[in-house]
Amino acid sequence: MLLAFDVGNTNIVLGVFRDGKMITNWRLETDNGKSADEYGMIIGQLFEYEGLDKDEVKDVIISTVVPSVLYTLQHLSVKYFNKKAIVIGPGIKTGLVVKYDNPKQVGSDRIVNAVAAHAKYGGPLIIIDFGTATTFCAISEKAEYIGGTIAPGLKISSEALCEKTAKLPKVELEEPGHVICRNTINSMQSGLVYGHMGMVDYIVRKMKKELQEYSGSNKEVKVIATGGLASMIDSGIDCIDHVDKMLTLEGLELIYRKNKKVKKHDSDENKEH
């Protein structure tokens, strides 16, 4: 089995794969204060609840945008699974050509999403990840990571409204059903949710045009959405073609297989010499 960690600023999503297929997944809160032992006990209980044997885990792979959590999970991997974790970063084979000015600045989650989406849906495509930040990534037909856009996520925007104003309260992130609202709660929900939908629709239109200009082709650009709030945003706009909640975990499994083949090939060559 393969244990995959997708570490975001708000949540850690874990997936367990057997023979290339995901058999279960869980979501934990990202907590810089938790030790490897605390996470280890939680994950051990999750394995026990699902009837899984930790000894069957052959490898661990980690994608993280939270550097402070990386050491904790690497330590957990060695102590509780007796494996040195594969970490998404420089030197990892992905199959993408990254066109960013500084490729090291691209978040590992964005790279992993791009690998999965291009493998599943082909290109050109736009990937929108509705996480703590809402990110837009443009991928060419030739699997080139061209670049993208980063905007504040819905939760960040909601928290900012509450924290930076004297009278506005915390609100649930849900559609109020109308934009002409008659109370503060609905007014905030309208601005947050429908404002986000409008932003997504505008950026996707601009990005599609730029992608087609880049490639010199009018080929249809697919739009793939992932992340916890993807379904809610998708319900109010027409520009998203597919909502794929497990995109990042599936990307980690694909990258694992790419690198496992590379390691096996290198090992075979060394034996020949």
Query: Would you call 218 helix, strand, or coil by DSSP?
Result: coil
CB 79 within 8 A of CB 36: yes
**Residues 6+ positions from 56 with CB-CB distance below 8 Å:** 1
**Residues 6+ positions from 142 with CB-CB distance below 8 Å:** 97, 123
- Strand bridging mode 144-152 / 97-98: parallel
State the DSSP H helix or E strand holding residue 12, giving kind and residue range, or none if neither: strand 11-18
At residue 26, what is the residue type? W
DSSP string, 106-147: S-HHHHHHHHHHHHHH-SSEEEEEESSEEEEEEE-TTSEEEE
Partners of 7 in the β-ladder: 12, 64
Query: Would you call 176 helix, strand, or coil by DSSP?
Result: coil
CB 5 within 8 A of CB 12: yes
101 labelled catalytic: no
What is the phi/psi pair of residue 98, to 5°?
Answer: -90, 120
The catalytic position among 6, 31, 55, 109 is: 109
How far CA 242 is from CA of 62, 91, 119, 188, 217, in Å, comes to 25, 31, 14, 28, 22
- Which sequence positions are flagged as catalytic? 109
